[in-house]
Amino acid sequence: MSSKTNKLSFWQMFNLSFGFFGVQIAYALQSANISRIFATLGADPHQLSFFWILPPLMGMIVQPLIGKYSDRTWTRMGRRKPYLLIGAIIAVLVMVFLPNAGSLHFSSRLFLGLNMAMWFGLFSLIFLDTSINVAMQPFKMMVGDMVGDEQKTEAYSIQSFLCNAGSLVGYLFPIFFTWIGIANEAPEGVIPDSVIYSFYCGAAILILCVLFTFFKVKEMPPKEYAEFHGIDLSKQQSQKGEGLMKLLVKAPKAFWTVGLVQFFCWAAFLYMWTYSNGAIAQNCFGCPVDENGTLVTSSAQYQAAGNWVGVVFAIQAIGSILWALVIPRFKNVKLAYVVSLLVGAAGFASVMFVHNQYALFVSYFLIGTAWAAMLALPFALLTTALEGSPYMGSYLGLFNCTICLPQIVAAATGGLVISLVGGSQPAMFIVAAVFLVLGSLSVGLINTKKQTN
């Protein structure tokens, strides 16, 4: 039995996740601008989804290892905090270099169909996504470590709130810099200064927020942690040799059932991140096309649509922030999950038919409800099922694969899927809506029976 008696205050839970605000600014800049960056560097729409394969693939490799080794890392700095600091530092360095891929005067020589600027950007993206995940995952683990079952939905909702507040800032950076006079257009193949400066500012805020949590939060020492979670330290010591594959075989049913919901949700959002710029440019900004019917990415209309992607993603973040306040009011967590995903599906489907840039506010606001649920509920459900397990971090690291794998599948098949819908980037939002509906149907399969291993 767990000896949990003390509840955390709101501000303790807030401080625990505050660094997530900075991490999510970086993630928002990546998700809102990567397709814009690679399209500017010369990628065509059928290539765009391929640039999203390697980052989640790296996440599938790195995250389980971070979880496994942080489970065993007991230092004066903390258990999870050393990893979050290392990830943040690497992310900051990459954020300085990535948006300059088109300005480094690489040769235009092609290798495997990509020019050198795109190769530089691709490898920068791999490191950026990996480092962001290294910095992000410890926050989820620390809530699992330090918050009791009765407060986990609230704690993860606070984390979702801060996450989406960070998204709001990151999404609006490019249009803000354009508004104050920073150039939003550049020579062909070069990333506009409005995007470059956005990444610089995001990097600065990221490290400051992570340092705040790093110095403000004190993690539990081993004995206190074991007492808090009702773990037998002698049993934990004898099981130190448990490998990740063995843990995966022993995973509670919640791991697999919540993971199925995750598969559909993250595939849907991968398509949103990939095709929002092109869909909005085509439907709402009248972007010109070349002789092959491809959008002209160097045009003012395309780059203006790129800024508008940040605005509608910010609206999505506002929707997520507000919905994160509503989620704890649901008495049934699974019902909250289903409602959130169905409302999000309606938002995705509507994008296909909207031709007014301001009407997109409604679409992306609705999408935000699904995003809020995705950030809060899977981890609340899983950590409840894992209560009493000495392998919380390892399982959360493995669970990250349910985020990475659907992105890899969606990215790998994106070129085929867009061909099946006639090359229409707006039509990809109908595909995303179908995925969220399937996700909502899968919620009924979730089993939250506690881990007994």
Of the candidates 313, 49, 293, the one whose C-alpha atom is nearest the C-alpha of residue 167 is: 313
In eight-state DSSP terms, residue 98 is: G
Q: In CATH, what number is assigned to the domain containing residue 431?
A: 1.20.1250.20
In the chain, what's the furthest Cα-to-Cα distance? Answer: 70
Q: Tell me which residue has tokens 């509670």.
A: 252
**Do residues 250 and 240 touch, judged by C-beta distance below 8 A?**
no
SS3 call for 386: coil
Tokens coding 397? 């690291």
Tell me, yes or no, whether 450 lies in a domain. Answer: no
Structure tokens at 170: 């990151």
DSSP, collapsed to helix, strand or coil, labels residue 27 as: helix
- Compute and round to an integer the Cα radius of gyration of the chain: 21
> In this structure, what token pair is assigned to residue 91?
């992310």
Instruction: Work out whether the CA dihedral 93, 65, 148, 450 comes out positive or negative.
Output: positive
- Our count of domains for the chain comes to 1
Indicate whether 234 belongs to any domain: no
| Burial class of 6 by CB neighbour count within 10 A (0 to 12, 13 to 18, 19+) | exposed
What is the value of pTM for the model shown? Answer: 0.72
The residue type at 36: R
How far is Cα 179 from Cα 174, in angstroms, rounded to an integer?
A: 9
In a domain, 438, yes or no: yes
Say if 54 falls within a structural domain. yes
Q: pLDDT digit of tens for each residue in the chain (453 aa)?
A: 344 456 888 898 999 889 989 998 998 888 778 777 877 777 766 666 677 677 777 777 777 878 777 877 778 888 888 888 998 999 999 898 888 876 666 555 555 556 677 777 778 888 888 888 788 878 888 887 888 877 877 888 888 788 878 888 888 898 899 999 998 877 777 888 898 999 999 999 999 999 999 999 888 887 887 788 777 656 555 555 567 778 777 777 888 889 999 999 999 999 998 899 889 998 898 888 777 777 877 788 888 888 898 889 889 988 988 898 888 888 888 899 999 999 999 999 999 999 999 999 999 999 999 998 998 788 778 877 776 666 777 787 788 888 888 988 998 888 899 889 888 889 999 999 999 999 999 998 887 665 444
Which two structure tokens, joined as six digits, stand for 115?
């020019």
430, part of any domain = yes
Structure tokens at 443: 């919620």
Q: Which residues lie below 8 Å from residue 88, measured CB to CB, with a gap of 6+?
A: 19, 22, 23, 131, 135, 206, 207, 210
Do the domain assignments include residue 360?
Answer: yes
Query: 343 pairs with which residues across the strands?
Result: none
Q: What are the two backbone dihedrals, phi and then psi, of residue 337, each rounded to the nearest 5 degrees?
A: -60, -50
Q: Is residue 3 part of a domain?
A: no
- Residue-range definition of the domain harbouring residue 373: 10-228+243-445
**SS3 of residue 65 by DSSP:** helix
Whether residue 4 lies inside any domain: the answer is: no
Handedness of CA 423, 128, 193, 166 (dihedral sign): positive
